[in-house]
Structures are given as C-alpha cells and as structure tokens.
C-alpha cells in the first residue's frame, strides 16, 4: 500500500471550527484557519473541511474558508457538505479544493458520482458515507450528520459508488464519532474488503492504539478531529506511533 | 513566470505555490504569452485526452512546443507532464506533444507480489533515484531533504523510451514508477509539488532558479 495518510478533519459551522459528539452536540472551537495552519506545520498529510450545516442552507458555505486555506497551505484539501451539482464542485475546485466529499446528493442521484468523476477525474470524487450500525455486521448509510436514514446498506452502497466512479471513500462511523473510544473496526474491515479504492476511516480516534487497530483493519488513511482540536494528541506523536507500528508514513 | 490556463486543473493552488516562493505569476491562455514566457508551467488534473483537447481548442499546442524548443525552463505537473510524451493510453490511445519519447501507461494493477493494490495511487511517496542515478545536486531536485515525500494522485504514469529521461522514481508496492522526467530544462512531475508541503515548495523554488 501507499504510505498511511494522517488527515486532520475540520467540521465547520458558519465561520467556526466546531466539534460534536455523534455528529451532534456542537461546540465552537475557534477560527479554522489557525487550526489548519498548525496542522499543516505539524505535517498533516491532508485536510478535510466539512460544512456540517450545509443542509440547512442547501449549499456549501466554505468557499471563503477554503480560499484562505489554499492561500498558504500546500497539502491536499477535501471539502464536503452541501455539494449538490457539478457546478458546486467546480466552484470549490476553483478556490483551491482538490477533492470534494459528497453524501446526500449522491444518495439522491447516484449519477452525480459519474458526472463528477468524468469531468474532474475519480481522484476528485470522494464518497462520504455516514454509517450507523443496525445489526452485528450490517450498517445503514445516513445523511445530514447521522440524522436522516437512506435505507441504503453501506456495503452495497460503497460497491455501487465505486463502480459509478468514486475514487475514495470517507467512512464516518456515526456510532463512534466524537466518542474517542476507537473506530468501528468491523465496519472498516467490511468496507475495505469490498472496494479497491482507498478508504479514509473517520470517527472515534482517542489514542494512538486506535490508529494502529484501524490501519490493521485495512484503512488507507485516518481522519482525526477532536483528538487534535483539543490537543489530546499531536500529529507528530501520532506519526511516531504509526512508524513504530511498522506503517509507512511521510517524513515531515 | 507563466502558467498555462487550458481549462483544466487547480490553478489557484499552483499559482499560490509559485507566489509563495517569490514568483510573479502570469496566468494565461494566450499563445503569444506562452511563447514569450521566461518560464512556463503546464499544470493539470484529469484525463490525458481532455488535456490535449484543452490545449488544442485554445490553439496552444504549437506555442507550448515552440516554447519548449527554446530550452527555457518548463515544468509539467501531473497531466501537464504526461502530455510531454508521444502517446497516452488513458481511455484509448491519444497522441501527446511528443517532446519526450515514450508513452503514458496505466500504473500496474498489482504490486510486485502479484496482489492487486489500491488504484489510483493516492498519497505521499518518496522520490528515489532511478537506476541510471542522475545527478540531483543540480537542477529541479537539488537540496531536497533526504527521502523527500511528495503527494501523488494518479492511475497513469509516464514510461519514457530511454532511461536518460528519468530523473526520479517512486516505488509503489515494489513497482518502480517514473515520478520526474526531464530533458535539459524541460521537466515533468507526476506528483503535485503545489500539494507536497515543504518538499514541494523546495522543488518550486528550484524551478524558479533553473
């Protein structure tokens, strides 16, 4: 595999970086640019920005935040939340995003995945999946920060999305998100065994042991949010732990 | 320096990377400005065919070729690099600019162990000297830190006909992939220097003093 990627995830509401539990119960953390700069300087391999209130407005409101980020942060930026059309994708790419993460609009109209992949390449089309456990080895895909059911089985959905042209999966466990109790490893294993495209595991990292577990379960990249925002963990420490576990990581 | 706007690619990030390294950037679609450039960058994201189509539709193909023929510094990034070769094999065979002999082929679908691996090749990988051990002490790759990691995202890669055009490789699951190609002052990177943190910015700076 390629080097393990360590990704800082920034959930945004209005002008602020926020953090919630199970994608709800939001708390304002501060100016996203300050956090993003710090993560870039600590050697984050990528950044993910999610507009978590986009569905309220029916559009993504991150263009200004992304433009500021791309101005002096030189690692890949993925942007999600409220991306509904190829035009929305174009707008975000023009202000410096490299990839877009799409959930709701892809569920509503899977053909959008193909349109984005054809126009901008599949590397740009990240399928965002919010997975909620419904049985021992079954998960349902949700939208709107884990509030709306879709009726889609996560495994079926990622398989289909890959065939439609998705280039990567951002897999968020609604059950584990913000708990710092570790990832849903069965979920990560099931998804990474289903698709050949890279999978970013998101939701639940509290300790470096969690990171080691999820990579062993098959994750190609790990998104870290509140452990970084609350400075419970630093990226250098996470990188060192990954390295000593024998994973390839960037020397930053 | 001049960046070619041919309708594809994340021009904002490329522009910002060069500006951060002290360059005054002109973003242009004009074939005259392309030909008169002091240094020329051809960025790019997406498919080979779309890239060639983008150049053709804007009447830029000959201008880019004529610029390269002057021997002034040229940098192609990702698809902008792939277009330097004779032929691209992505979605059928398509002719390229033919500046560097060779083809753009699919990244091997398996690792050296024969097992399938993730495609596209996405992520940070280390630049290593090709088997012909080119001189990194001068040119685009001078003064990089040891084991420079840069950001790749691609499913196709250049395969030059002759090893003399290989400047740097990366190793993906045991497979050697050409990461930087070059001939004189004409360079191409398969990875994205504008997304490769400090190592990428070092390469951008090096380009500005070629």
Q: At A130, which CATH number?
A: 3.20.20.70
Residue A57 in this model has a pLDDT that exceeds 90: no
Q: In this structure, is residue A251 part of a structural domain?
A: no
Q: Which of A11, A45, A98, A177 is catalytic?
A: A11
Q: In this structure, is residue A249 part of a structural domain?
A: no
Cβ-count burial of B71 within 10 angstroms (0-12 exposed, 13-18 middle, 19+ buried)? Answer: exposed
Residue B133 in this model has a pLDDT that exceeds 90: no
SS3 B144: coil
pLDDT digits (tens, 9 = 90+) for A87-99: 999 999 989 999 9
Residue A252 in this model has a pLDDT that exceeds 70: no
Query: Do A122 and B120 make contact, defined as CB atoms within 8 angstroms?
Result: yes
Task: Write out residues 18-77 of A within 8 Å (CB-CB) of B.
Answer: 40, 43, 45, 67, 70-72, 74-76
pLDDT digits (tens, 9 = 90+) for A130-171: 999 999 999 999 998 888 999 999 999 999 999 999 999 999
Q: Is B78 an active-site residue?
A: yes
Q: In this structure, is residue A250 part of a structural domain?
A: no
The radius of gyration of chain A from alpha carbons, rounded to an integer in Å, stands at 16
Query: Do B13 and A96 make contact, defined as CB atoms within 8 angstroms?
Result: yes
Query: Do B118 and A71 make contact, defined as CB atoms within 8 angstroms?
Result: no
Give ipTM to 2 decimals. Answer: 0.90
What's the half-sphere exposure (Cβ side, CA atoms, 13 Å) at A177? 26
pLDDT band at A80 (very low <50, low <70, confident <90, very high): very high
Domain of A65? 5-244
In whole angstroms, how far apart are CA B104 and each of B53, B158, B187? Answer: 16, 4, 15
pLDDT band at A1 (very low <50, low <70, confident <90, very high): low
Domain boundaries, chain B: 2-208
Residue A120 in this model has a pLDDT that exceeds 90: no
Number of domains in chain A: 1
Q: In this structure, is residue A252 part of a structural domain?
A: no
d(CA B13, CA A89): 16
φ, ψ at A51 (rounded to 5°): -80, 105
CATH code of the domain made up of B2-208? 3.40.50.880
Residue A77 in this model has a pLDDT that exceeds 80: yes
Q: Which of B47, B119, B172 sits opposite A196 (nearest CB)?
A: B119
């Amino acid at each position: 595999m390629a080097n393990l990627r360590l990704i800082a995830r920034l959930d945004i509401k209005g002008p602020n970086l926020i953090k919630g539990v199970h994608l709800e119960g939001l708390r304002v953390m501060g100016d996203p640019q300050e956090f993003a700069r710090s993560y870039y300087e600590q050697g984050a391999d990528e950044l993910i920005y999610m507009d978590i209130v986009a569905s309220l407005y029916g559009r993504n409101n991150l263009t200004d935040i992304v433009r500021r980020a791309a101005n002096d942060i030189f690692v890949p930026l993925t942007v999600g939340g409220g991306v509904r059309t190829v035009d929305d994708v174009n707008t975000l790419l023009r202000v410096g995003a490299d990839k877009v993460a799409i959930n709701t609009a892809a569920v509503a109209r899977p053909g959008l995945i193909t349109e984005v992949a054809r126009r901008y390449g599949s590397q740009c089309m990240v399928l965002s999946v919010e997975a909620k456990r419904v049985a021992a080895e079954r998960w349902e895909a949700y939208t709107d920060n884990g509030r709306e059911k879709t009726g889609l089985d996560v495994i079926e959905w990622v398989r289909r999305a890959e065939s439609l042209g998705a280039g990567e999966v951002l897999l968020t466990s609604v059950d584990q998100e913000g708990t710092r109790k570790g990832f849903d490893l069965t979920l990560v294993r099931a998804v990474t065994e289903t698709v050949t495209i890279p999978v970013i595991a998101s939701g639940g990292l509290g300790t470096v042991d969690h990171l080691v577990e999820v990579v062993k379960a098959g994750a190609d990249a790990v998104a870290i949010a509140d452990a970084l925002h609350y400075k419970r963990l630093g990226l250098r420490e996470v990188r060192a732990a990954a390295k000593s576990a024998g994973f390839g990581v960037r020397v930053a | 320096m001049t960046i070619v706007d041919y309708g594809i690619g994340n021009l904002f990030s490329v522009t910002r990377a060069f500006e951060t390294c002290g360059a005054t950037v002109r973003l242009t679609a004009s074939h005259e400005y392309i030909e008169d450039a002091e240094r020329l960058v051809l960025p790019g994201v997406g498919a080979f065919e779309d890239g060639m189509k983008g150049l053709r539709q804007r009447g830029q193909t000959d201008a880019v070729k004529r610029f390269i023929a002057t021997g002034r510094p040229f940098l192609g990034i990702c698809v902008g690099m792939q277009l330097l070769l004779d032929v691209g094999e992505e979605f059928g065979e398509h002719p390229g600019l033919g500046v560097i002999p060779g083809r753009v082929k699919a990244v091997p679908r398996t690792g050296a162990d024969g097992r399938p691996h993730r495609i596209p090749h996405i992520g940070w990988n280390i630049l290593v000297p090709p088997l012909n051990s080119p001189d990194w002490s001068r040119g685009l790759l001078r003064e990089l830190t040891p084991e420079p990691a840069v950001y790749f995202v691609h499913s196709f890669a250049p395969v030059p006909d002759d090893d003399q055009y290989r400047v740097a490789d990366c190793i993906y699951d045991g497979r050697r992939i050409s990461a930087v190609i070059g001939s004189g002052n004409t360079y191409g990177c398969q990875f994205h220097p504008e997304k490769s943190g400090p190592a990428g910015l070092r390469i951008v700076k090096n380009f500005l003093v070629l």
